[in-house]
């Protein structure tokens, strides 16, 4: 183990006593499934089958992050669970405290504090804790978007090696994401994805030239959209012009993801607006709904209200200060 690297890696979250409450295993399992999907939890041998820990969710830029503390024997996602819940995320898993052995793709890895692993929710997995306290943070990345952005190299379960210089860079960006104001969060999220993409590119060996070119255009497009989504006048034509491709070529790349440029841009703007609303309602800022909508890239307030309700099932006002727990 590289001790110099280990000494530079700390916890992303301040430990809190509320992280360690006793729950019946059935209740804990329900909480975990509500956040992460179908998983089975085996208690660690405590009296009455109780589990000490908690499972909560936090918005990190446009992504959700699960924060799971537990002292279970193991948590498993088997093929039967996959049939009812196929899995549409890659989980960028950070071992924040304690240890875990993860089994996925026919391989086993031991995660110690600070380690990271990219879990594929579409594949069976087993997390073994042996009844000892462990806390993990899981950044939920849309699987299809990641596949089209980085290619199949990101699938199947991947250990992020501590010995790679990009490891510390990703850890540093994650630390900033959990502490910085939401105004800079979109840029930090894009920085994290860019670093992850660079790491994955180093693992890639057999990708054709045409496929690499298509992925490069899409990756650049997504980065530009994150950077300029706050501009109400920014759209397909402006994106195509910045990338020096035709609008038709650009739409063809996004069609591979099953969406249009307009749909992706709307999704980014809505995610950023919701993050701002939650921060505003929790006291971090006190912006008006109109100001938040405009700064997220919406010039029409009525359209913003309709699109927000269609996407999230409730009004923007109801999202203000709403924090999953």
Distances in Å between the Cα of 66 and the Cα atoms of 33, 94, 175, 250 are: 11, 10, 15, 33
Q: Which residue has the higher pLDDT, 118 or 259?
A: 118
How far is it, in rounded angstroms, from Cα 101 to Cα 111?
A: 6
65: CB partners within 8 A, 6+ apart? 57, 58, 59, 137, 138, 139, 140
**Which residues on adjacent β-strands are paired with residue 50?**
24
How far is it, in rounded angstroms, from Cα 37 to Cα 157?
A: 17
Which of 7-21, 128-142, 152-166, 243-257 is least confident?
7-21
Quote the pLDDT of residue 75: 96
Q: How crowded is the C-beta side of 137, counted as CA atoms within 13 Å?
A: 24
pLDDT at residue 97 greater than cutoff 60: yes
Q: Which domains does the chain have, with CATH numbers?
A: 3-164 (2.60.120.10), 207-319 (1.10.10.60)
The average pLDDT across 262-286 equals 79
Q: Which residue has the higher pLDDT, 254 or 9?
A: 254
Quote the pLDDT of residue 254: 86
Which of 71-80, 159-168, 283-292 is least confident?
283-292
Mind listing the pLDDT tens digit for each residue in 55-75? Answer: 999 988 889 999 999 999 999
pLDDT at residue 158 greater than cutoff 90: yes
How far is it, in rounded angstroms, from Cα 142 to Cα 144?
A: 6
CA angle 229, 309, 301 (to 5 degrees): 55
How far is it, in rounded angstroms, from Cα 86 to Cα 292?
A: 35
Beta carbons of 255 and 230 less than 8 angstroms apart: no
How far is it, in rounded angstroms, from Cα 269 to Cα 276?
A: 11
């Amino acid at each position: 183990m590289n001790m110099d690297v280990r000494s530079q890696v700390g916890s992303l979250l301040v430990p809190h006593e509320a992280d360690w409450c006793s729950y019946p295993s059935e209740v804990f399992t329900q909480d975990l499934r509500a956040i992460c999907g179908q998983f089975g939890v085996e208690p660690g041998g405590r009296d009455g089958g109780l589990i000490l820990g908690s499972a909560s969710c936090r918005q990190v830029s446009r992504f959700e992050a699960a924060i799971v503390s537990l002292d279970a024997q193991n948590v498993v996602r088997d093929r039967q669970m996959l049939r009812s819940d196929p899995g549409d995320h890659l989980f960028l898993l950070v071992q924040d405290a304690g240890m875990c052995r993860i089994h996925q793709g026919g391989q086993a890895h031991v995660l110690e504090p600070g380690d990271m692993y990219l879990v594929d929710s579409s594949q069976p997995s087993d997390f073994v804790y042996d009844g000892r306290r462990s806390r993990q943070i899981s950044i939920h990345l849309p699987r299809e978007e990641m596949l089209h952005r980085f290619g199949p190299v990101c699938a199947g379960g991947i250990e992020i090696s501590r010995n790679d210089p990009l490891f510390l860079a990703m850890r540093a960006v994650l630390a900033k994401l959990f502490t910085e104001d939401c105004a800079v969060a979109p840029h930090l999220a894009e920085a994290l994805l860019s670093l992850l993409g660079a790491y994955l590119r180093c693992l890639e060996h057999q990708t054709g030239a045409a496929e690499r070119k298509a992925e490069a255009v899409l990756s650049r497009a997504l980065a530009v959209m994150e950077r300029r989504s706050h501009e109400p006048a920014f759209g397909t034509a402006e994106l195509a012009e910045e990338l020096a491709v035709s609008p038709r070529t650009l739409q063809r790349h996004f069609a591979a993801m099953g969406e249009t440029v307009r749909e992706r841009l709307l999704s980014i703007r809505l995610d950023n607006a919701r993050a701002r609303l939650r921060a505003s309602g929790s006291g971090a800022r006190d912006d008006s709904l109109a100001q938040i909508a405009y700064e997220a890239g919406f010039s029409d307030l009525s359209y913003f209200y309709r699109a927000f309700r269609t996407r999230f099932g409730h009004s923007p006002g109801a999202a203000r200060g709403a924090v999953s727990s």
